[in-house]
Chain A
């Protein structure tokens, strides 16, 4: 019984230097722990949060708003973990 659920939330990039290599690496590492699909980006240009190359190209500078979607069995847990990263400013300040 595949429990296919989709969760979507919007986050504001709070840390000063945006989604640069280090936060991107944290996102990839966090996303990699979950089975569900995780997408991040804006309307029309989403990338997988499991891809560092993709994440680097989303232009997540400070103050920008990014949509995160998690799809799959562990979507709830994944969203919680991603939310924590955004809220804690990727542990940068």
Chain B
């Protein structure tokens, strides 16, 4: 995505991808790109011992910092995410690397920063040539560590985020794991980066820490300078450089109003999610990091409707084994008990790739071997996750669901593998769940149209609207040239949802909606009207959506849906939805406007 608009004098509005909601205003601190300028000067032989001492001190300091980061990451995100720093520590302790640096120091007579930089550069170049995607990516680790050593040598910023003292907005080309690990959310009020996507490391950390973030702004790190004021709107994916006082005032007023509304909404936390006339629409939470479980109760959601497991597999230097996965799934379920947790089996591919998994590069990844297709093609790998899920579900309220189902055969195959795992566990005498609720995600039109065939093999359905819309309308919503065609209110989508709900209900199977549509207030009346049984959304959106549900009547929603299904333009339908929302819950329009 690139900037769309500019032209308010003085201020510059940039459009990127909003990956973590919320608004923040503050002074920018720009973090230099990975290649920080390395000071260079000649030295004489008698300076060498001094340089060596500086080098050793910097190494000790670096080792200490990395251990500290490892400890912090382990505390916040769990031990498995901290293990990446093991390899970082070994780089610092690499005697051969150190000796090579010292040898070159004697030979070249240059200051130690320059020598460390050039030796590291040589290694990175070698790694860059390796014919293996994963190993090639390790250059980032070497770069992360040597940057730290060089920074310690020049005595400048060390722990870039941890060193910040004043509240600010952090801007960079991208942030590395050690950057975000060192940050304090009371200091860093928002993240803004040139590159990245919804699944990039910065995005995941920002959501977990509930800090607004906008990524994919191309060149913002070179457009702003430290000290400038920016406004970050993570909800709309907008960054405004040098906002005018009118703009700030408008946002401030809006923030004030929103705060009041949110306070008001907090009182709904323990109230049931049902319409005025008693239609129950339970709201569960979508989470991706175990640490997000804490927010579920705070925001008043009921259980987890979608636990994405990809994060376990991304950004890591090894695949999580059965034990590790069992522990994560059990912990999340224990924390949510007695409410249920729905865990989605691995949904890799498309735009998400694990560094440790070999996924073939495909010309059209969204139509390629992703999600269930990948898992069925790698049954040994899939079994590790299924066994962990079966074990975790022993005595716990855990259900599982398969993503990207396009044909009933896939459900039958997956269930077959699940049964195999169950037999294995039985033979091994390990505790496991004899009964496990299994669901299919409906996000491909072919599955939506054959729900009757799939129904006998599952206990529930969950509609993933983001993919369902993308596949039905043949629109990539992050492609700005066609994004205008991405319409959740396209009649085809409503017809598909209606068909799924009706067919599923004929077989007495419940249907949840877990995509973005469920978190859009104006879409909620439609979903109620179409007869959806449950919504699953990110925890911070729960109070708002619950308020919408509680202010509506089922009868008016049913009428709205009925009218919408009579083929008309998407915009007409959207207009009617907004009109109903404006009548019933005007405070919510204030909140999202």
Q: B141 on the interface (CB 8 Å rule)?
A: yes
SS of B interface (majority) = helix
Q: A71 on the interface (CB 8 Å rule)?
A: no
Partner of A53, one of B84, B96, B318: B96
Partner of A57, one of B91, B95, B126, B141: B126
Bound form: Cα–Cα A17–B83 in Å? 17
Q: B131 on the interface (CB 8 Å rule)?
A: yes
Q: Which of A20, A48, A92: most chain B CB closer than 10 A? A: A20
Judging by beta carbons under 8 Å apart, are A17 and B134 in contact?
Answer: yes
Judging by beta carbons under 8 Å apart, are B127 and A51 in contact?
Answer: no
Contacts of B90 in A (CB 8 A): 24-25, 28-29, 52
Bound form: Cα–Cα A52–B134 in Å? 16
User: In which size bucket is the chain A interface?
Assistant: 20 to 34
Judging by beta carbons under 8 Å apart, are B86 and A59 in contact?
Answer: no
Contacts known (A20-B134, A59-B131); A53 close to B97, Cβ less than 8 A = yes
Mask, B369-412, CB within 8 Å of A = 1, is 00000000000000000000000000000000000000000000
Q: A42 on the interface (CB 8 Å rule)?
A: no
Q: A69 on the interface (CB 8 Å rule)?
A: no
Mask, A22-59, CB within 8 Å of B = 1, is 10110011000000000000000001101111101101
Judging by beta carbons under 8 Å apart, are A92 and B318 in contact?
Answer: yes
Bound form: Cα–Cα A27–B200 in Å? 30
Q: Which of A16, A28, A29, A57: most chain B CB closer than 10 A? A: A57
Bound form: Cα–Cα A47–B130 in Å? 15
Partner of B135, one of A18, A25, A47, A92: A18
CB distance from A19 to the nearest CB of B (A): 8
CB interface residues, B 125-161, toward A, < 8 Å:
126-127, 130-132, 134-135, 138, 141-142
Contacts of A57 in B (CB 8 A): 123, 126-127, 130
Q: A21 on the interface (CB 8 Å rule)?
A: yes
Bound form: Cα–Cα A58–B109 in Å? 30
Q: B551 on the interface (CB 8 Å rule)?
A: no
Q: A12 on the interface (CB 8 Å rule)?
A: no
- The list of the 8 closest CB pairs from A to B, nearest first, reads A51-B96, A52-B90, A21-B317, A21-B87, A57-B126, A22-B318, A53-B97, A22-B317
Can you give 26 A-B contacts (C-beta < 8 A)?
A17-B134, A17-B356, A20-B317, A21-B84, A21-B87, A21-B138, A22-B317, A25-B86, A25-B87, A28-B90, A47-B96, A48-B96, A50-B96, A51-B96, A52-B87, A52-B94, A53-B94, A53-B96, A53-B97, A53-B142, A56-B123, A56-B135, A56-B138, A57-B130, A59-B130, A61-B132
Query: What is A's interface to B at a CB cutoff of 8 Å?
Result: 16-18, 20-22, 24-25, 28-29, 47-48, 50-54, 56-57, 59, 61, 92
Query: What is B's interface to A at a CB cutoff of 8 Å?
Result: 83-84, 86-87, 90-91, 93-97, 123, 126-127, 130-132, 134-135, 138, 141-142, 317-319, 356, 358
